[in-house]
A and B are shown apart, each in its own frame.
Chain A
Amino acid sequence: MAGFLSAHGYAPGPTQRPVLAGAISGLIATLPAIAILSAFGSLAVEGAILGLSTLRTVGLGVPVMALAGALYGWLFGRAANDRRGGWLFGMAFGFALWASGAVMLIPLFTGGLAPAGKAAIGLFLSLVAWGAALGLLYPFVHRPLHESVEKAAERTGPTTGTRRMDRR
């Protein structure tokens, strides 16, 4: 997939700020995720597994998800601006976070403890919903963050792609 993205010119370009846009979108997307976690009782279970209070679990989770959003912006680059497909890319990213974080890493760092039952369902749904919200929000959050064409164009003069020659 990375090769395919790369071949199709996904490098964001000088006007875009994908990491910032991803971080902000990731932050906002935690709202529905927290709502789902609460509804399924997953937050308390997750806190118990990690040995943290519910509040601290949320406090830890929010910046982590902002960071994950920034990673999403960096990874998906220009493709993340796709208003039609963004939710799908975000969901895929949310699924990947669930598979790597919730499924693999949490048991690894807690001596094999893993959420089960309703709590496990909530955890899965919250991350997929977080991803979908991230992908949906990203293009709209990113647009006003763009640098203006006039300003960015100053860095794209006729020396683009040339090499300075040393005096011999």
Chain B
Amino acid sequence: MLRVVAFKKAILAGVVGAFAWDATSRILSVAGVPVLDLVRELGTLVVPDGRPIEWWPPGILAHALVGAGWALFYAYFFWGRFRWPPAIQGLAFSAIPALLATLIVIPQLELMHLPEHAVRLDWRWYLGGLEQTKLVGLLVGHAVFGLTVGAIYTRPVGYPVDRRPNLRCAARRNRSRPRGKRTQRDGAFIFATGIECSYPTIDRGRWRRDEMDGIRHYDVWQQDFALAREIGVSHLRYGPPLHLIYDAPGSFRWELIDEAMADLAEYGPEPIVDLCHFGVPDWLGNFQNPGVAPALSEYASAFAHRYPWVRFYTPVNEMYVCARMSALDGVWNEQLQDEAAFITAAFNLTSASVRMTDAILTARPDAVFVNSESSEFYQPCCPDPEIEALAAIENERRFLPLDLLYAREVSDAMLDRLKEDGWEDDYRGFMARKAPRRTILGVDYYEWNEKLIDQDGRKRALGELFGWYVIASQYWERYRRTMMHTETNRIDASDAPRWLWRQWHNVQLLRRAGVPLVGFTWYSLTDQIDWGIALSEAEGTVDPVGLFDLNRDPRAVGLSYFHLINMHRDRPEYRECGALMELLA
């Protein structure tokens, strides 16, 4: 699948566009402008000598069908490719059907109206073209069609926050029952993948992005779990849709995931449950709300009691990224661009993570916490004190949520900033806390994680300069926690197998260096939607980063991961991963 296409919306746009064209033609006709009446041309193919009342219905039906087809074509191949207003995108697109109509379709319609079965044409007929007035009418008609389609067909993915998607995910279908029960080797190295599950809001909190909806996981969750088992992963990073489940304080719609969780419990892979992934339910607002932490604590507690067999948790995914995108870069949720708002979001997110952890431990004292965070690194481009200072700030800021979570003191400069914003008491509270023993620091890595601060103070993606080994080592040196590679992928599908093996070699090297590293993850199981633009708009563009595409056909990297897992999982050092065994003991 290339695009997530909203079929109903596209068909509606095409049909309305066809009617708008016809209405325009009639108005121009009444005004005395000679135009090509395409509906009549089509209708009289069916009713050759009929009256308007006879040819109009089949004519407009054919016109609307063709319009719907073109609108779908627009939705697949054109929509969102240019940063223009939607109606203008539609207008530009209409040049394609207009050209085909002028050169091929209209002359052929003329032939179809002839009483003969065959005719002999000469080149003059081909080059004769349309009368100018008719040509203008045709172009105007297409322009009206394009403007209408463009104006109607927007946002093919996601939904308004106040409207729930019509989920069909609850029922488990028996026809694809897995063959074997879950067989879990405790303490074996974790080979994982994940179901991409981000659900932030955009458009000032009015539009919900929901990746699980976009990739159709709600419809085909059973198939997705089967594919994860086929690849051979032992663990699955899985984020139930918090925004759909957590209805109101004390109210949870567990029926949305009961069947899916039962399937994982019975057949595997073992889930690493991701409780908060870049968004909160509508009624909680956004990450500036201090009520987020107690509310999510209630959710975590209810979850742990509902599914007591779940052992691995990620209470809040990538806190730094979430705070940054929501409150500093202005892309998601509160969409602020403010240092103080970033710190507020970071404190609220970390506070949520801590309280959720405590709540889960009450229900499941031996729970394991995988605190996934995006590894980042900023390199100053040049020996300019200002640029170096900017890089230093960024390199300090990337650690803030983890520093709070793992009670590691921040730098003096950062502490001054926290005091200035009135966070000193909360900071001291975090520093007085001891993180649970069964905690894994998850370090995510993508090729854009290493950045250069250029002469103008702007960020540029450096690509894989130092690599995961070096960046993860910085996190190891800082926190000295058991670690896991919790996310990686490559947006260029053809290069993904090479990237997978490179990441794996980094993991092996870090293990050999003595770092307690317990797992590796290719993220995600399937392709994702709009991560190329950080979910900032509802485009529906598919990023081919998955082990499987959205038709659920394996990608080359899926086969490579299968190969990698088979090559390593039964080797003694992976069958019994000392660091994980120690952690679970």
Contact = CB atoms under 8 A, between A and B. Distances in A.
A16 B553 contact: yes
Nearest to A11: B494
B119 A116 contact: yes
B104 A114 contact: no
Interface string A85-125: 10010011000000100010001000111111111110010
B225 to A, nearest CB: 16
Contact of B559 (A78, A139, A149, A158): A149
Contact of B69 (A49, A83, A91, A115): A91
B77 A9 contact: no
Contacts of B77: 1, 4
A36 B218 CA distance: 40
Interface string A135-158: 000010000001001101111111
Contacts, number: 150
Nearest to B497: A160
A149 B118 contact: no
A149 B230 contact: yes
Interface stretch (B148-156, B191-199, B335-343, B560-568): B560-568
Contact of B563 (A10, A48, A153): A153
Interface string A1-19: 1001100111101111000
Interface string B487-508: 0000011110110010010000
Contact of A156 (B112, B116, B559): B559
Contacts of B113: 117
A48 B498 CA distance: 57
B551 A114 contact: no
A30 interface: no
A81 B551 contact: yes
A92 B551 CA distance: 20
B22 interface: no
A40 B285 CA distance: 62
B554 A112 contact: no
A45 interface: yes
A79 interface: yes
A8 B555 CA distance: 12
A100 B460 CA distance: 46
A147 B155 CA distance: 37
Contacts of A160: 497-498, 501, 560
Size range of the interface on B? Answer: 35 or more
Interface stretch (B1-9, B253-261, B511-519): B1-9
Contacts of B29: none
Contacts of A84: 1, 5, 7
Interface string A156-168: 1110111000000
A91 B7 CA distance: 16
B542 A114 contact: no
A45 B116 CA distance: 10
Contacts of B377: none
B185 interface: no
B111 interface: yes
A10 B551 contact: no
B53 interface: no
Given A113-B118, A116-B112, A161 B501 contact: yes
Contacts of A158: 501, 504, 564, 567
Contacts of A85: 1-2, 5, 72, 76
Contacts of A120: 108, 111-112
Nearest to B81: A4
A5 B69 contact: no
A15 B554 CA distance: 7
B31 interface: no
A49 to B, nearest CB: 6
A85 B362 CA distance: 49
24 contacts: A8-B541, A8-B544, A9-B492, A9-B542, A9-B555, A11-B493, A13-B553, A13-B555, A78-B553, A81-B549, A81-B553, A85-B72, A88-B76, A91-B69, A113-B119, A114-B120, A116-B119, A117-B112, A120-B111, A121-B45, A139-B551, A157-B567, A160-B497, A161-B495
Interface of B: 1-3, 5, 7, 45, 69, 72-73, 76-77, 81, 100, 104, 108, 111-122, 230-231, 492-495, 497-498, 501, 504, 527, 541-542, 544, 549, 551, 553-556, 558-560, 562-564, 566-567
Given A8-B541, A149-B559, 9 more contacts: A4-B77, A9-B549, A13-B554, A13-B559, A99-B100, A114-B119, A153-B563, A156-B556, A160-B497
